[in-house]
Amino acid sequence: MTALPTHIKRFCKGILRQYPLMKKELAALEEERKAVAEAVSTATWKEPARVKAIGDRTAAQAFKLLRLSEQWQQVHFYVKAVEDLLEYLDEEKKELVKLRFFNNYPPWKTAEELNMSESNVYRWQDEILTLLAHRLGL
């Protein structure tokens, strides 16, 4: 495996560290999206939608729904990438991701928790970051 450039490593580390927050954000966006979608009036075969002007309340809610959907898709892309990575990894490496990135343990503490050397933690971390970078298309 070729070594990742530093800026890509940092980006991937950031994605892994933000994953728990992004997961919560995704759930909140989904709820807000559903609430806005239910509030927007829709046309039926019997009754066409009546939108008077672009400043109409329904139009504003429709645009809000579009913005929420776009934001949801962006967050979902990163959440799905991390979930795909976690599905691919074996249990020990999953535990390393949880300790090192989700719980923000330093390398020495992670090594201590996993009963391995600190150099193994760094080696596995590099492998994990490379896999995530490839999954993200970097």
Domain boundaries, the chain: 15-88, 89-138
Q: Under CATH, which architecture does the 89-138 domain have?
A: Orthogonal Bundle (1.10)
For residues 52 and 23, is the Cβ–Cβ distance under 8 A? no
Residue carrying the six token digits 């923000």: 104
Predicted confidence at residue 52, as pLDDT, reads 53
Give the separation between CA 9 and CA 127, rounded to whole angstroms: 11
Give the separation between CA 72 and CA 64, rounded to whole angstroms: 12
Give the separation between CA 116 and CA 95, rounded to whole angstroms: 12
Q: Whole-model pTM? A: 0.73
Predicted confidence at residue 96, as pLDDT, reads 92
Start-end of H helices in the chain: 6-39, 57-88, 91-97, 107-114, 118-136
Predicted confidence at residue 33, as pLDDT, reads 76
Predicted confidence at residue 76, as pLDDT, reads 87
Predicted confidence at residue 25, as pLDDT, reads 87
For residues 121 and 96, is the Cβ–Cβ distance under 8 A? yes
Give the separation between CA 137 and CA 117, rounded to whole angstroms: 30
Predicted confidence at residue 80, as pLDDT, reads 92
Residue carrying the six token digits 């991390």: 82
Mean pLDDT by 10 residues, the chain (138 residues): 83 91 86 73 61 59 76 87 91 91 91 90 92 90
What length does the chain have? 138
Residues with Cβ within 8 Å of residue 9, at least 6 apart in sequence:
126, 129, 133
